Amino acid sequence: MELRKSGLRIAFVGIISVILAFIIYSRLTIPGEHLIMLTPELKTLASGVLAITFASMASITYGISKIFKAEQQGPMNSNSLLYYITNAFSDNKYWKAMVIAATAYGIFFGFLSQIFIYRNDISFSQQGIVIPSINIIPCCNSPGYVPMFSAYLTDHFLILLIPLNTILAVIVSALVGFNASLGLYAFNLSRKIQSTKKLSFIGSVGAASGLFVGCPTCAGSFFSALLGFGAVGESISALASFQTLFIALSIPVLIFTPFLVARSIRTNCRTCNGAVKLK
């Protein structure tokens, strides 16, 4: 219980810190009667906000990990869906599978959402940009969209970090990795149960859902192509709006899916009457 409370406190502090940092920084950089000059002091403040953003993300991640560990150490309750979710990750290979899936999806997400930008048709050095170099854009936009961080790594490739987009990328990638790993666990378990010829239909659907739910950006790309949007020119903003919409809608689905998969695991375990171990 104490471990869970500690995790909640740490995660809560991280969430509040990043929200306050965005709001305060946005108010300090709103263009108005006393327009803030883009001084070294403002860039220092921008660097501080970026540092708070990453520190808050680390705090939230650590807090959630403590909550998850508390659930694993809790008393066994075969009626609780959380028991089946946390039990799956008692085997380290599923943590490794989660990291691999989240990293792979994160890279894919990064290119699709223009965190990673490769432009073979543009030479950054010809535009007067030093290669390699980093830059902080401190002003001005809505809360969460400034400050921006850009790193020009080659003449055609750069990394653009917008705080809100970066947080969204981490959340979605982690959820996709979690769902994929849990789905893999459920799929492996269903194969064991199938050997007893007692695999339920609900169980097979639940196992598959964890493996195939995790591509929210694919939906945005599909509908953008269906409606005739290209990937260049003026259509980029339209494509981005579709991606953001589908990604935002996907987060509740990605949160709900583990419980659907856990329900299928519970159903199958009750069907086989404990003939197959949850490992």
Report the alpha-carbon distance of residue 151 to residue 161 in Å, rounded: 9
Terminal Cα distance for the chain, rounded: 25
Give the residue with greater pLDDT, 32 vs 55. 55
Sign of the torsion angle spanned by Cα atoms 248, 220, 60, 88: positive
User: Considering the entire predicted model, what is its pTM?
Assistant: 0.79
Sign of the torsion angle spanned by Cα atoms 260, 266, 271, 277: positive
Q: Return the number of other C-beta atoms located less than 10 Å from residue 51's C-beta.
A: 11
Question: How much is the average pLDDT of 47-58?
Answer: 95
The DSSP call for residue 276 is S
CA distances, 129 to each of 139, 152, 232 (Å)? 19, 8, 22
- Model pLDDT, residue 204: 46
- Model pLDDT, residue 212: 46
Chain segment 54-74, per-residue pLDDT in tens: 999 999 999 999 999 998 887
Give the residue with greater pLDDT, 123 vs 220. 123
Bridge partners (DSSP) listed for residue 133: 152
Percent of the chain with pLDDT over 90: 33
- Mention every residue, 6+ apart, whose C-beta is less than 8 A from residue 32: none
Per-residue confidence at 149, pLDDT binned at 50, 70, 90? very high
Give the residue with greater pLDDT, 247 vs 238. 247
Report the alpha-carbon distance of residue 163 to residue 136 in Å, rounded: 12
Give the residue with greater pLDDT, 276 vs 184. 184
CA distances, 220 to each of 178, 186, 206 (Å)? 21, 27, 24
Chain segment 169-204, per-residue pLDDT in tens: 898 889 889 988 998 898 888 777 665 555 444 444
